[in-house]
Amino acid sequence: MDAMSSAKAGRLLRVLAGETLDPPPWWLMRQAGRYLPEYRALRAKADDFVQFCLTPGLAAEATLQPVQRFGMDAAILFADILLVPRALGQPLEFGDDGPGLERIEERNGTAGLSLAGVSSLDPVYETVRLSRAGLPRDTALIGFAGAPWTVATYMVEGGSSRDFRRTKAWAYRDPAGFAGLLELIGEATFAYLSGQIMAGADAVQLFDSWAGVLPEVEFDRWVVAPARQLADRLKRAFPAVPIIGFPRGAGQLYERYAAATGVDAIGVDTVVPLAEARRLQGRVCVQGNLDPVSLLVGGVPLADSVKAIREALAGGPFVFNLGHGVLPQTPPEHVAELARLLASPAA
């Protein structure tokens, strides 16, 4: 790589390629959103959240807002994982208590769903173009999608869930039928991530927010296998674009996920012990894992947690992030505080 292109790669991409940097590059899951007053003002310009996500001018502005305020090393595309079910033909609404989808029933299988509507995702690619054009050259733009298992839970439960009993029951009772649903989601997701990459996303993250609710055998089948398949296809089509896998809650199965999927980096959630994260770093770049509540609290507890994470993970490829998304109640000043803490080399 020549000097120009390695400068262009920026700090996030260098670390995803295996370099060790101090201070580490950083960004935050859900860094755009309701905790920012400028986001709330912008959000008020669209009637509903889906229309907001599908209006490139608004979504690109939301993508850039946190970077303009705090100078993270990466922006994450402003969109949502549930645009994929909508593109497959499933009606989607966002209410005050989260997303609502017209439930997919086990007895109907994938009837009524198809790839015919994937072009409804085209505005997202325009958001990517506008966002990339508005970012400093050294700031990476991260595209993303939900992993098939997590997306399927929303499609089958009709929204968020506590026990995932409908989705699991389908998967356990009728694995061939459930595999059909995951294949369809996987196909749309490959098209979605390819579109984002072709429009200028520098890296992609696969969010498997509910990876941690499955037993071992089912974890292999419904979390690891679809992620590996997506990673393989993306690597064949876009060998230079790094992939971050985030199988949240995978616990003792993180290592297997990292080994079997071939992702370039792995997002570790807040409860992964730092010694364990350090061990995973022997295999892949690690991203994480500050407790979002530490960021909400700020002050000494924040500084102490940041220090401990950096001490544990500074010795290898590491992206500083949260273990899950920024909480809407987080004072923006605490993110500024975090930026200051991260700007200085480790003591």
Distance CA 66, CA 36 (A): 8
Residue 202 annotated among the catalytic residues of the structure = no
Element (H, E) at 128: helix 122-134
Give the torsion through C-alpha atoms of 330, 334, 335, 341, to 10 deg. -150
CA angle 254, 259, 264 (to 5 degrees): 90
By beta-carbon proximity to ligand CP3, the closer residue of 2 and 47 is: 47
By beta-carbon proximity to ligand CP3, the closer residue of 113 and 206 is: 206
What is the nearest approach in angstroms of ligand CP3 to the Cβ of residue 209?
Answer: 3
Determine if 31 is a binding residue for ligand CP3 (CB under 6 A): yes
Question: Among residues 39, 125, 154, 257, which one is catalytic?
Answer: 154
Residue 34 annotated among the catalytic residues of the structure = yes
Determine if 81 is a binding residue for ligand CP3 (CB under 6 A): yes
Determine if 36 is a binding residue for ligand CP3 (CB under 6 A): no
- β-partners of residue 322 are 290
Cβ pair 151, 161 in contact under 8 A: no
Q: Which stretch binds ligand CP3 (CB under 6 A): 76-84, 178-186, 287-295, 333-341?
A: 76-84
Distance CA 252, CA 41 (A): 42
What is the nearest approach in angstroms of ligand CP3 to the Cβ of residue 37?
Answer: 13
What is the nearest approach in angstroms of ligand CP3 to the Cβ of residue 206?
Answer: 10
Determine if 30 is a binding residue for ligand CP3 (CB under 6 A): yes
Which residue sits closest to ligand CP3, CB atoms considered? 209
Count of residues in the chain: 347
Residue 278 annotated among the catalytic residues of the structure = no
Beta strands in 96-194 (DSSP E): 98-101, 140-146
- Residue numbers 135-174 binding ligand CP3 by CB under 6 A: 144, 160
Cβ pair 226, 186 in contact under 8 A: yes
Cβ pair 220, 227 in contact under 8 A: no
Which residues, 6 or more positions from 182, have their beta carbon under 8 angstroms from its beta carbon?
A: 148, 149, 152, 222, 226
Determine if 123 is a binding residue for ligand CP3 (CB under 6 A): no
Question: Among residues 11, 35, 73, 80, which one is catalytic?
Answer: 80
What is the nearest approach in angstroms of ligand CP3 to the Cβ of residue 207?
Answer: 4
Q: Which stretch binds ligand CP3 (CB under 6 A): 31-39, 105-113, 178-186, 277-285?
A: 31-39
φ, ψ (nearest 5 deg) of residue 266 = -130, 130
From the list 144, 277, 130, the residue with the least C-alpha distance to 203 is 144
Determine if 59 is a binding residue for ligand CP3 (CB under 6 A): no
Determine if 222 is a binding residue for ligand CP3 (CB under 6 A): no
From the list 69, 74, 6, the residue with the least C-alpha distance to 37 is 69
Q: Which stretch binds ligand CP3 (CB under 6 A): 29-37, 169-177, 257-265, 278-286?
A: 29-37
In the complex, which residues of this chain contact ligand CP3 (CB under 6 A)?
29-34, 43, 49, 76, 78, 80-82, 94, 98-99, 144, 160, 207, 209, 325
